[in-house]
Amino acid sequence: MIGVDWGTSSLRAYRLAPDGTVRERREAERGIMTVPPGGFPAALREAVGDWIAAGEDRVLLCGMVGSRQGWVEAPYLACPAGAAEIAGATIRVPFEGARVRLVPGLTTCDPAGVPEVMRGEETKIIGLLGAIGEAPEATLCLPGTHCKWVRIREGRVAGFAPYMTGQVLAALSAHTILARTMDTEAPPHAGAFDRGMARARQKGGLLHHLFGVRTQALMGELPPEQGESYLSGLLIGHEVAAALEAGVAPPIHLAGTESLVALYARALGAFGIPHRIHDPDAAALGLALIGGCLGDTDW
C-alpha cells in the first residue's frame, strides 16, 4: 500500500509493507497550495507513479488534500473515533491505475458547543496509540501552527482542543508594533522563554501581558534578541495553563518537530506536569493501520 500525508506546504509519501513497515519514503515541497485546479491526479502520479507502476494499487491519502481547498473534500467524522471508524469514513477518489481513498478529518465541540476540527493529525494520532499504551485515558499534545490537545479514551479520540499559538506568534512578531521591539533572526533564548512562561502564570490575562512585551522593551528590560523567545514563552505558557485548566491525564504525550516539542516539554516541566516524547513521524503507521481496517472490497 502507498500512504501519502499531503498537507498545505509539503507532501510525504510512504511505500508500506503489509505489516506497516516503511519500505521507501519520499518528501517534497508539493503541498496542496502548489497544485493548480484539476492538477491533483498529475501531482500524485508525479510523486508515486513509479510505485504504482511497480504494482502498488492501493493509495491512502490524509491531510489537507481532503479539505475544501484540496482534491476532494472528505467530510469530517464526529468523535469519538478510532482506526475502524476513520477507515469506514474514507471516501473513494477516481484515479486511473490505482484505488485511491481519502481519510476524513475529525470534529468535536468544546464545552460551550463551539465546533472544533482537525485534518491530518487524526492519522498521526492513530499511529501513536500503540506507543501511548493502554491506559483508560490519556492526553496527547501535537505542537504546531495550530497545536492540538487530544483526549484519548479506550484507544479512541474522545475529543480535542486546538490552539492557534504558532500562528499568533508569527503574526504578532511580524505584523504588530511588537515586531519593532524584537530581533526575529536571533537564536532562541531559554532564559527569556522561561520569563515569558513565568509571566503567563501571573494575573492580568494574555492581552494585558502582550502589551507588557512592548513596555519591557521600551524600558530596556527585554533586549531585542530575547523578545521573540519571551513572546513564545508567554503564548505557550498561556496555552498550557488553559489546557491544564480544561483537564488532562498525565503524563502528557508529545509528538511533533523536535524544536517545538522541546519548548512544550520545557513548559510542562515548569508547570510540574510529567510528559513523554514520541516519534514525530507517526503518520506512516497511522495510514497503515487505517488501511488495514479496509477489506479488499472496501477499496
Whether the upstream peptide bond of residue 251 has omega within 30° of 0, thus cis, is yes
Report pLDDT for 200: 98
For residues 232-239, give the mean pLDDT. 98
The residues, ordered by sequence, that sit 6+ positions from 138 with a Cβ below 8 Å of its Cβ are 132, 151, 152, 249, 253
| pLDDT score recorded for residue 20 | 86
Total-model pTM: 0.94
pLDDT of residue 133: 86
C-alpha dist (Å) from residue 168 to 56, 80, 128, 199: 41, 29, 27, 18
Q: What pLDDT band is residue 280 in, cutting at 50, 70 and 90?
A: confident
Helices (H) and strands (E) in the chain, counts: 9, 14
- Closest by alpha carbon to 253, among 84, 159, 128? 128
Average pLDDT over residues 77-88: 98
State percent of the chain over pLDDT 90: 96
Find residue 137's DSSP bridge partners.
153
249-262: average pLDDT = 96
Give the CA-trace dihedral at 131, 167, 104, 38, to 10 degrees. Answer: -130
Which domains can be identified in the chain, with CATH numbers? 2-134+282-292 (3.30.420.300), 163-277 (3.30.420.310)
Distance (Å, rounded) from C-alpha 224 to C-alpha 189? 11
Residue-wise pLDDT for 7-47, tens only, equals 999 999 999 998 889 999 999 999 999 999 999 999 999 99
Q: What is the mean pLDDT of residues 172-187?
A: 97
Class of residue 273 by CB neighbours under 10 A (exposed 0-12, middle 13-18, buried 19+): middle
Q: How many C-beta atoms lie closer than 10 Å to residue 213's C-beta?
A: 24
The pLDDT tens digits of the residues spanning 109-133 come to: 999 999 999 999 999 999 999 999 8
Q: Distance between CA atoms of 116 and 118, rounded to whole angstroms?
A: 7
Confidence at residue 296, expressed as pLDDT on a 0 to 100 scale = 87
Whether residue 281 is predicted with pLDDT greater than 90 in this model: the reply is no
Is pLDDT above 90 for 284?
Answer: yes
